[in-house]
Structure 1
């Protein structure tokens, strides 16, 4: 079977650009996120302020509301409201892919293992751990991402029934005709989610960390790579209700725990939105909900290359990124869901166990590390004007993370938004990012759940921390947390 390989060359690989979203066709309406106290959604109070609830996650008291532009400053004063602000949209980055053709690849004998999978080898003692610790369908990983390539032979055998789609008709910008709000449409139009899934549970031409583990896909991103925060919260709750054991979230954004202001472009006013942003509160509630249901959330640390253990640094970055969108942050800011105490936050390492150039880090923030790839050599060749030499010699093999992806083609509207997509064939590609590190830890967490029947999410998090291989400076550190999580160290 002919395979297409893609090299991802983007230097900014973080999910989590934030922007306010205006309700389509209603110039004076804005979409807001509201979190209610005691998980009680108060429709009457919302309607009294001129709002209409368009989406809700009742299990955590989250509602998405279309309302006049001054809604938030009024809603935050309601007795039953914890937080309200213009809705945050989490955006996947644009990635550049350079494909090339290879010879036919057998999907039966791990034909790509030896040449391309340095990262999985590092965690499995060159595959030796597969003999006793390869996972089973008794333990399920829920992947909240861009979906899954339903036609890819390397991931088909471990994809379990029950995957779900949370992307509404039209997608994030309302222009994607392939998005018809079909709750069963989990086909990956982007590639990110399938790459993540391959790292966890591929079993074919390539192998994941847990090649016999079961997984389900919860699609919140379309081809454009954008998702409203409410869709992500709904996916967390749904995965928890479905009884998954591990939830992988290779995504995130910056939220405030200090004062948040919004410079309203319609009224010209500077509106105080309170001491918490609604999305952070929602993440807190969703993570607690998942934990009570028995699911451990594993998330990526982010790709901003800053010390997230310093809230001032995160606030400065938030103002730099989102100031032009009308937001002003004062006081402490954090990454969500990475900052939450009951999730496992993963930084990224390269082929020499070094902290990747892009990886966010920080004491009290990073729990463990895993290989997500690096691009030191890529940058060296790029700066020297020798990128073609880098690509022709396939030097990415030794530093980027390799996994499964779908090959797709897009058609575009005049404004550049995606109108539709065409699936071409199952494929493979290289990516770098903490998005590629987190799923490897999620896979090891699944193996631990499989080994230790009845273990709680907290138990497994502690196991991951206590068994991590110490790298970097001796002991716990800000770059790798407790160290590199590997399969063999987890079962010593």
Structure 2
């Protein structure tokens, strides 16, 4: 077992202190952000949220305080700024046109699971090499053994045999393998938001959506794979928005915020974010990001985009604000950041987002052992996988069984961690549950293009299997989401 296997199991939860590059990009017109091919020094970056839209004199405001604009987010009234001036933040906060400003922090890494040694020698005997459908318990479950495909796959073949996509899902993640045989026919583009210099491979090319991590390719397959493995909507279109790089999967919040806006402007129908960031107004850092996150989500929903995100993998009750704050302080304090008030899991707990917890193959009463939960937090659950019931009951590494995990696409040029088959691997996490729901939203939109995000959300919740306690509960929300049940209940 490779030592870096764990990052395939978790929602993207990103690292701090590894982002050390140099150079400052120049600023051009409001319609055009600085080129990402220029290197950015990330240790002196600030996020600024103006009270409404960008004022006419926003450039002068920034420059007079000693800053240089790095990124413009006009749709949400925000800018990212670089400054070497110690007094920059104090000066900028005194401006009455600014709602919030703070130093920008990358997502902070947390790996709460201790990985047991998994026995994988029997995998070749379990799965038919011509089709991996028998190993996809999760997709079988969500589609009712493939019955939903008979109603809607997300597209169709034209007279020339080319796939026509009736709905498109934007995957904001680590990128995608553009040549994967199970994905390439459904990839219709995307964009890279990672600046040059973040590692040796990063040139800042906006067209470079190649996945260096594996996470994004796996998520995309759960949504729309169509080959040896299947996704929830095998003919859905996929647009890949790369916001994380290399094996570290490091992210700055402004990259994701810009990706949400770009996806909405690209007319995607659904956005999948298998990533998580905790934030609070009373935290020393981070309020401006929360303001812009909320505005970006609102912008997407107003543009008829259904937004889906994962609840996280810390086994936290998100309603227990004290427990969440205590947990966050153990993570943030080494970086000199003190959490003083109730925290929010971003983007999952923001208004307009479907918040997804992770269910298992074997239980209708328990979530996966790592999944976050909360009665006011969770909308629905979906299969995220785990190590099986024996491991959940005993935590005995010898009981860990990889076949209870999620099996789907993996970059063909990266080593698999468990699977003996190149281009496919086992993963687990709310990262894997989230695209199940995004795929359901996609096929609903394909079946009824007139449906709005609120209607799609309501349908997914109304047609979910009511697992756990009857009605809304802290673990499953409205229940485990199901594509077939949603599709047969669409009102034409």
Partner Cα separation in structure 1 for residue 109 and residue 154 of structure 2 = 30
**1:225 counterpart = 2:231:** no
> Of 54, 59, 70, which aligns to 2:75?
59
Aligned partners of 2:472, 2:43: CA distance in 1, in Å?
49
Equivalents in 1 of 2:481, 2:136: separation in Å?
Answer: 17
Helix, strand or coil: the match of 1:197?
helix
- 79 and 302 in structure 1: CA distance in 2 versus 1, 3 angstrom threshold: same
Structure 1 residues 447 and 7, CA gap change in structure 2 (3 angstroms)? farther
Q: Which residue of 2 aligns with 1:16?
A: 13
Deviation at 1:311, TM superposition (A): 2.5
Q: Is residue 161 of structure 2 the alignment partner of residue 142 of structure 1?
A: no
TM-score between both structures, scaled by the size of structure 1:
0.83
Inter-CA distance 343–29: structure 2 relative to 1 (3 Å threshold):
closer
The answer to whether structure 1 residue 203 and structure 2 residue 226 are counterparts is yes
Equivalent residue for 2:101, pick from 84, 89, 95: 84
Map of 1:455 onto structure 2: 451
Structure 1: state its 5+ residue gaps: 263-275, 411-424
> Which position in structure 2 is the counterpart of 1:288?
298
Measure the CA separation in 2 of the matches of 1:296 and 1:350: 24
Answer yes or no: is the 8 Å Cα contact 1:374–1:400 preserved in 2.
Answer: yes
Q: Which moved more, 1:313-322 or 1:194-203?
A: 313-322
2:42 matches 1:36 = no
1:130 corresponds to which residue?
Answer: 149
Q: Give the 3-state SS of the residue equivalent to 2:437 in structure 1.
A: helix
Q: Note if 1:305 corresponds to 2:324.
A: no
Distance 1:430 1:35 in 2: 40
Pick which of 247-256 and 353-362 moved more.
353-362
Query: Greater share of strand residues, 1 or 2?
Result: 1
- C-alpha contact (below 8 Å) 1:165/1:184 kept by paired residues: yes
Is the 8 Å Cα contact of residues 349 and 372 (structure 1) preserved in structure 2? yes
Alignment of 1:167 onto 2:194: yes
| Structure 2 equivalent of residue 265 of structure 1 | none
Go from structure 1 to structure 2 and tell me whether the alpha carbon gap of 1:339 and 1:384 turns closer, same or farther (over 3 Å shift): closer
Q: Contact conserved, 1:250 with 1:438, CA < 8 A, in 2?
A: yes
User: Is the deviation greater in 449-458 or in 19-28?
Assistant: 19-28
CA deviation string 1:241-272 (max 9, x = no partner): 01000000000110003x2226xxxxxxxxxx
CA deviation after TM superposition for structure 1 residue 133, in Å? 2.0
| CA distances 1:328-366 after superposition (whole Å, capped 9, x unpaired) | 122221111111121101000111243011101111211
Q: Which runs of 5+ in 2 are unaligned?
A: 25-40, 156-164, 416-420
SS at match of 2:44: strand
Find the aligned partners of 2:3 and 2:237 in 1 and give their Cα distance: 26
How far apart are residue 323 of structure 1 and its match?
Answer: 1.5
**What pairs with 1:401-480 in structure 2 (closer than 5 Å)?**
401-408=406-413, 427-480=423-476
Asked if 1:112 corresponds to 2:132, the answer is yes
* Superposed counterparts of 1:172-187, under 5 Å: 176-187=199-210
Number of equivalent positions: 445
Tell me: CA distance 1:197–1:31, structure 2 relative to 1, closer, same or farther (3 Å).
same
1:70 is displaced (CA, Å) by: 4.0
CA shift, 1:17, in A, is: 4.0
Task: State whether structure 2 residue 350 is matched by structure 1 residue 340.
Answer: yes
Conserved? CA contact 1:93–1:225, under 8 Å: no
Shift of 1:385: 6.0
Structure 2 residue aligned with 1:191, among 214, 223, 231? 214
1:374-430 Cα distance to aligned partner (Å, 9 max, x none):
13568579965648xx6xxxx311x111110114469xxxxxxxxxxxxxx951111
Residue 9 of structure 1: how far off its partner (Å)? 4.3
Q: 1:270 aligns to what?
A: none
Instruction: Select the residue among 183, 193, 202 that pairs with 1:155.
Output: 183
- Shift in alpha-carbon separation, 1:33–1:344, aligned structure 2, 3 A: same
CA distance in 2: counterparts of 1:31 and 1:23, whole angstroms: 12
Aligned partners of 2:15 and 2:249 also within 8 Å: no
| 2:21/2:197 contact within 8 Å kept | no
Q: Counterpart of 2:254 in 1: which secondary structure? A: helix
Give the TM-score of the pair, scaled to structure 2: 0.83
Tell me if structure 2 keeps the 8 A contact 1:30–1:86: yes
2:88 counterpart residue number: 71
Distance 1:383 1:481, change over 3 A: closer
Cα contact 2:173–2:274 (8 A) shared by 1 = yes
CA distance in 1 between counterparts of 2:388 and 2:149 reads: 30
Deviation at 1:227, TM superposition (A): 1.4
Aligned to 2:160: none
